[in-house]
């Protein structure tokens, strides 16, 4: 491609960006600020929350759905509220367990092209336009994280939590993966590849636990807070 054509493309792209920026970007900043203020104000009154992540595609007959529902109900008995992405699948299961147990059941809802419709088991639902603001709220108001089997979104959420704790950008909270059959291959890859190639430290593998049952997950969370190992105030 000759230099003149390159310059034409550059002028076209930059011209489009400049037009979009001058028209949209300043107002977008105010929308972002408003979403942060509204969500922070609401979330600050919800009490200690356990975030539960997992696939939106998990059906009610799936054992993981039933496990998440049971765990949420048990956590409510110990004074915790439940925080999810507000959608179907594991999110619905966790919200349902908390809701039917009479506890706080928060859903951080976001509109997606597929799969994400707000479930009806929420004592408080917050609607988000921006993914990154929603993700901040998941961690800023969380005193524990439980991750059930899921796809790209669930993996993204798990690795973000681990990364932020590893780098000490947030205070440490218990992180629990539920479902050994599902998670063990990933954990093995982390040990045999990431650890063997010195991409992570051995201590990083201690940032999370893998369990099979709701009771095991509950015990880890309660014990962590009982002994004051985990802080509950974050500066996300």
pLDDT digits (tens, 9 = 90+) for 65-119: 999 999 999 999 999 999 999 999 999 999 999 999 999 999 999 876 665 678 9
**Residue 139 within any structural domain of the chain:** yes
Give residue-wise pLDDT tens across range 31-72: 899 999 999 999 989 989 999 999 999 999 999 999 999 999
For the domain that residue 140 is a member of, what is the CATH number?
3.40.50.450
132 or 2, greater pLDDT: 132
User: Which pTM was predicted?
Assistant: 0.84
Around 14, how many Cα atoms within 13 Å sit in the side-chain half-sphere?
Answer: 6
Cα Rg, the chain, nearest whole Å: 20
- Same domain? 187 vs 208: yes
- Same domain? 77 vs 151: yes
> Structurally, how many domains does the chain consist of?
2
**Residue 86 within any structural domain of the chain:** yes
CB contact set of 225 (below 8 Å; sequence gap of 6+): 143, 144, 232
- Same domain? 39 vs 66: no
- Same domain? 31 vs 75: no
**Residue 110 within any structural domain of the chain:** yes
CB 58 within 8 A of CB 149: yes
- Same domain? 35 vs 56: no
- Same domain? 125 vs 26: no
Q: pLDDT band for position 234 (50/70/90)?
A: very low
Cite the DSSP H helix spans in 44-130. Answer: 63-77, 90-100
């Amino acid at each position: 491609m000759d230099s003149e054509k390159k310059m034409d493309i550059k002028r076209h792209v930059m011209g489009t960006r400049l037009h979009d920026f001058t028209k949209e970007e300043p107002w977008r900043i105010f929308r972002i600020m408003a979403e942060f203020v509204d969500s922070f104000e609401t979330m600050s009154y919800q009490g200690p929350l356990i975030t539960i992540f997992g696939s939106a595609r998990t059906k009610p007959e799936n054992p993981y759905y039933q496990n998440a529902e049971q765990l949420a109900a048990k956590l409510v008995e110990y004074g915790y509220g439940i925080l999810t992405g507000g959608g179907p699948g594991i999110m619905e299961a966790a919200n349902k367990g908390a809701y039917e147990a009479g506890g706080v059941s928060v859903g951080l809802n976001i509109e997606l092209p597929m799969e994400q419709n707000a479930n009806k088991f929420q004592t408080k639902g917050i609607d988000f336009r921006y993914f990154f603001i929603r993700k901040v709220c998941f961690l800023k108001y969380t005193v524990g994280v439980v991750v059930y089997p899921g796809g790209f979104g669930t993996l993204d959420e798990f690795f973000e939590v681990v990364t932020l704790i590893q780098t000490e950008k947030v205070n440490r909270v218990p992180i629990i993966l539920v479902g050994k059959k599902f998670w063990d291959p990933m954990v093995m890859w982390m040990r045999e590849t990431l650890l063997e190639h010195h991409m992570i430290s051995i201590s990083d593998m201690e940032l999370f636990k893998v369990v099979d049952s709701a009771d095991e997950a509950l015990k880890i969370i309660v014990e962590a807070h009982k002994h004051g190992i985990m802080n509950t105030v974050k500066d996300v």
